[in-house]
Structure 1
């Protein structure tokens, strides 16, 4: 590629996106590219001025596809890294020449045109930001990093999902029907499938010609319910069955509104330095999801063992057991079986050492973007 300038954009100006932008920028630069851009999408005149000034041949944007940008130049390769659907349907993700998926569940259900190249781009980490701190005192037996939705307000609970002349279904009805099922099941699917489960249930309740089109409602059903249900279900299970206390929770202040967890809540971490310090202060990091998350790789690089809820999909494409050895490089917890896991320091140290070594060898941002660089050269 004669012009080696890449425009890199995160969705907005937050501490998380700032850190991620800097790590991706360094990785692209190590691959020989000049990187410009920032945190916060450009549009209209600002986008035109930016393109005229830097003349990039590639735009790499998280969570924005080409069709969502008015008058985007046809001669610029656009890459969309889809980390959050934000209430959109998969069919709305169009226009970009390359689409990378954070979730393999989205990827396998995505219907794309012949002119669109697709791939899986899981998270990675940055060894300059995450590393073991010698002689750091362990304050917590475990920590959880992540946000939690607020308890549902009456206005949100009473939103109408579907109605006809005889009856109506409100959001609280959906919660009562699906929240416990989704929170306890051993697999997780893409957002559209959760929506379709609700639509099928509505049809069985004699509603016809149903579609849930409101983006906020789709997001709440397809994402917020699952996030809240799975996180609290796993944390509740761990607290009842395994000695993970004292546990520290780091994330948004919404945790204060959940009575069981408000005393465990610490604060929101705003920098990679703060996160690395917390990883080094705990014996274990808790991860409740299926597959990979940024915090999994970050903790591994920091030398912190990760305890993960076992899933039916762990050995499938995109599953953690396809990249790391179960109970050798991470701790797998099957909530359907009773565990007598002992936090032996020697065992934990062995797990953390092996995991860190593997991330350094295969899962830094430089490694991850190697495929992106190859795909760019193939397409241009």
Structure 2
């Protein structure tokens, strides 16, 4: 059985861990500042309509002639407000809107080489999101703010085997940034009227993985694509930054060696598999669809190592489950220079309702996207796309036992939660 020192250290590590799992499930983003936003990911691994195919299927660049460049920018914004109910036993204000404006960008470059070979490079952010509650809100002992974001840099290579088949591989360097903060109760019995303390944790790491892709065109205008991205391991290693502790708590934690403890958190970005179809119905209409699997159950198992007077290693299971994505879309060329896109998608939830927490405010989602692409000339396209991600109502009832005082409880609902994405991009061909 763990000693009191172990239990205290594990408690503090778990507090630091909470926002880590918050940013994950369902937040491998399909929105990377490209025309894929307007299709809600429908047909992503099969379209091969520009350099942004590198984000969804590296084999697609084998269909792109010459040198092509796509640069994109986007902004994400949402509504994530938590309304407490009568079961909450923590005083404080409301959560505010925890979804700040989040800008992003991307760059994709492809180059056709000789003998069926193509090379490419991609830089894009497709992972994570910030959650930023009010500092004095009722759930501050569970989370005040946290972010886990990632940037992918990926050189890649594709080979056109024949008129029908192409294969590709991309080597991913993934830069992950983690930052979290929550309050610590300095007055657990309500007698001293002390201000809260604070726990903060911040680090970054570089992980590596791969993307493998296959593209098959049985006849002109019909393409089937399959893309696999490998698991990526990242590791965060930092001291627990404990601030403004009351004298009793500080003395106890210092005597137990927790104040000087270093905490390492091991995380596994999930592997994914995508199957897509692109089918040109006629000169104007095309039909697109995708199916996707993401291995979130593996991500939910996070390792924690504590380097204190009595080192300890544990694995915390956030009870994540694998997710599934299905999308359907269409493209309509109503003018030689104009292409309209429309897509609808569904993603299953990475957590059951009883496992949803303030640091994992996630559920099943629906995406509705639309976009317009305009050809300035034979070599330049401009795209404007918009997408609404609807999460709806999500109930949360969360409790946490602390070393002193009664258990903390926050209960209520996230009502009408949504995220929207606006993307602009340009493609040049040489």
- Verify same fold: TM over 0.5: no
Greater helix percent: which structure?
Answer: 1
Q: TM-score, normalised by structure 1?
A: 0.25
Larger Rg: 2
Q: TM-score, normalised by structure 2?
A: 0.23
